[in-house]
Structure 1
């Protein structure tokens, strides 16, 4: 059974209690469920905002179950790479004493972000012995490479498994010429959205020049793509399938080359990667270029009139992003926020408790700009309705998707015999 919970000022609540309302998506009379219809209407109204911004966290990639790594899996990979070094690092940074989250048996949880943060802090204090400093530095470098390799997984995804990302891009990416292009911000390093855009015939403007080699140039976010062919009715007709992609923490295919950021093939061996690995220092690191350019664009986007921000698979555990969102709620009366992520109401979950309390209190006070959905990215994608007429390119890509899925299914059936 697929069930989601929806919290906003618009859904009905018994006895006046403003708690999340559960909705059974497998119900036979779903089309008669007022809360479900309210949810769909809210989502559709959000997509119609003039300035639509999406913030995608790690939960969107975890849709690729068994391929995209969770934070717990990253811990295991860093540990298994060199268990002796790993245990030595745990002792040096006193991980057991610094870890506050413990299970019912008093055991510490596996928090790779905390561990890497402690390594940064101990190295910054510069009061360790030479051998201990070397071990921490070595562990950090090896861990960064492990994380980068683990998140470079898109070539292992089967064609049929792209359905949620592809539907999301098709449903949200196409915009009226009177509306601004979709701005898709993501903290993920992987290439899932780039690959999905290719699957669905979208052109991605990601701040890199259309050249080879391709270097990062933030001015490219100000450019657009138009149809200037003879058959075009207007001298400058905007093509429909364009979106802007901002990778706020870097990418698996970015490297530094003579002071510039260069985009390489995702299979290339990258010696000097450009990405912010999970640690508390990502707040400071995010104010270096190219992250500064991405963050500046995010701040600017949230302050625009008639702006809607959809946060997907994001737990609000990035301080610099949290500050931007809460500031927009305080200062922009035309800013709306829709959150869809796993277990945002669970006090034992990974969703930031301070942000949860703040948003819940605002909803209780009647703030109609905020809505929260407890659901995974795949569930949210299923809720989206493809409301606009398909382009010929999209019809072709859909046909290819169906054929690929049929071929994969036939191959599986043949192997069964």
Structure 2
């Protein structure tokens, strides 16, 4: 792990293995202390905003590797894992392998863009608009439909009993904040149900814009509601703990649109879930319902005073999300930003030596790095995976009696 903040003089500092002094006491590591300080500062903000991307789901159902081993991820027996963009490319190619090269040729897809399914689908949508009616257009239209179906199948990798303990631990640290502060807002670009299943495991309450009726129907009004506990006295009420807001910026595998009423409903078995598919029209689609409400809430949250933004596993490749973040950094002096991603910071290549991280090459991340190097104390970049980041986040309170009770009941049921 590495960290870049103004306190380091604008230079990356690596976390070292624990060292002991002559009396056997552990010497505090400056880099680790700096990471802990920035995460704590972020959690202490009145308004805590979290933005997560694909990187927070890549560890789920993955077969543990032997220490020191490298290579691609492998799924546990009988399980499926979250797909990367490269995985989606390969899956789409396998499904229509006999037509794949022709699609590449018809769309004039440049080889320089590599195996990028988002770029390919973007070229397909453009080609579909300009190709005249005929076999070529029908081929492209059919490929788009097949590719979207492949994406839907791949992102439905999670079963309700799959292990999402790390997500549950993460949520536990988020929702333990004082109820006097604003509810934590979790924004995610992921389609999967990791946070929903983790909340179920931890008995956390999600406010996600859907009603508590059957079927559940989306209405942004529900985001303004909260949950309180009322005792026998009608004048006595307290905000309950363990509540957070969840905004799924690109849709979810359990969202569907009712063709008769036009309403957005929850249906885990939907054959046509409401998703923003990976292509360059994501920006335009994000301004349709229900995504418009999510984007509006995201931009509003970033403009609030005393706001902490924690970014996890998000590569800043979606302009419609990266631009509001950069704009808020420019205009909101009371915004604290911590970005955690393993692609940040310099790294050692076996043959080429030390290589620059994304912070030196990415158009948005390089701007954050520039501000840090020039003394911006509000920003911090941490080179760490989701698995490395969660244990370092402040654990504000010990496990409550109610949580211990739920865990005992769960273990009893599993024991039969």
Structure 1 and Structure 2 fold alike (TM over 0.5): yes
Moved more, 73-82 or 297-306: 73-82
Q: How does 1:24-39 map to 2 (within 5 A)?
A: 24=16, 26-29=17-20, 32-39=28-35
CA distance in 2, matches of 1:169, 1:27: 28
CA distance in 1, matches of 2:358, 2:85: 11
Q: 1:262 aligns with which of 256, 260, 265?
A: 265
Instruction: Please tell me whether residue 80 in structure 1 is matched to residue 94 in structure 2.
Output: yes
Deviations 1:295-347 (A, max 9, x none): 00000000000001000000000111011101101111101110001212367
Deviations 1:330-367 (A, max 9, x none): 11110111000121236776777111210111001100
Deviations 1:65-100 (A, max 9, x none): 3311111111111111121122221121122xx242
Q: CA offset at residue 134 of structure 1? A: 1.1
Q: CA offset at residue 283 of structure 1? A: 0.8
Q: CA offset at residue 148 of structure 1? A: 1.4
CA distance in 1, matches of 2:409, 2:104: 50
Deviations 1:88-140 (A, max 9, x none): 21121122xx2424xxxxxxx2111111111111123x234521111111111
CA distance in 1, matches of 2:377, 2:406: 38
Q: Using a 3 Å threshold, how does the CA distance of structure 1 residues 32 and 19 change in structure 2: closer, same or farther?
A: same
- Match of 1:61? 57
Deviations 1:42-85 (A, max 9, x none): 21121010000000000001121331111111111111112112
CA distance in 2, matches of 1:349, 1:282: 26
- Match of 1:219? 221
**Tell me, what secondary structure is at the counterpart of 1:180?**
coil
Q: Using a 3 Å threshold, how does the CA distance of structure 1 residues 234 and 241 change in structure 2: closer, same or farther?
A: farther
CA distance in 1, matches of 2:97, 2:183: 47
**Tell me, what secondary structure is at the counterpart of 2:112?**
coil
CA distance in 2, matches of 1:373, 1:47: 16
CA distance in 2, matches of 1:392, 1:185: 29
**Tell me, what secondary structure is at the counterpart of 1:6?**
strand
Count of residue pairs the alignment pairs up: 382
Q: CA offset at residue 398 of structure 1? A: 4.2
**Tell me, what secondary structure is at the counterpart of 1:215?**
coil
Q: CA offset at residue 189 of structure 1? A: 0.3
CA distance in 2, matches of 1:99, 1:10: 42
Does the 8 A contact of 1:206 with 1:221 survive in 2? yes
**Tell me, what secondary structure is at the counterpart of 1:317?**
coil
- Match of 1:113? 118
Query: Which of the two has greater helix per residue?
Result: 1
- Match of 2:68? none
- Match of 2:391? 382
Q: Give the unaligned 5+ runs of structure 1.
A: 102-108, 408-417
Does the 8 A contact of 1:154 with 1:195 survive in 2? no
CA distance in 1, matches of 2:235, 2:19: 48
Q: 2:145 aligns with which of 123, 141, 146?
A: 141
- Match of 1:203? 205
Does the 8 A contact of 2:255 with 2:270 survive in 1? no
Question: What's the TM-score once normalised by structure 1's chain length?
Answer: 0.86
**Tell me, what secondary structure is at the counterpart of 2:255?**
strand
Does the 8 A contact of 2:286 with 2:295 survive in 1? yes
Deviations 1:224-271 (A, max 9, x none): 0011133x897221110110000000000111103211111x2x1423
RMSD: 2.3
Deviations 1:159-218 (A, max 9, x none): 3xx221111000112221210001000000000001111111101010011110111100
Instruction: Please tell me whether residue 396 in structure 1 is matched to residue 402 in structure 2.
Output: no
Q: How does 1:151-170 map to 2 (within 5 A)?
A: 151-155=155-159, 158-159=162-163, 162-170=164-172
Does the 8 A contact of 1:56 with 1:186 survive in 2? yes
**Tell me, what secondary structure is at the counterpart of 1:354?**
coil
**Tell me, what secondary structure is at the counterpart of 1:137?**
helix
CA distance in 2, matches of 1:196, 1:375: 22
Q: How does 1:223-234 map to 2 (within 5 A)?
A: 223-230=225-232
Q: CA offset at residue 400 of structure 1? A: 6.0
CA distance in 2, matches of 1:184, 1:317: 19
- Match of 1:100? 112
Does the 8 A contact of 1:253 with 1:270 survive in 2? no
- Match of 2:69? none
Q: Using a 3 Å threshold, how does the CA distance of structure 1 residues 348 and 9 change in structure 2: closer, same or farther?
A: closer
Question: What's the TM-score once normalised by structure 2's chain length?
Answer: 0.86
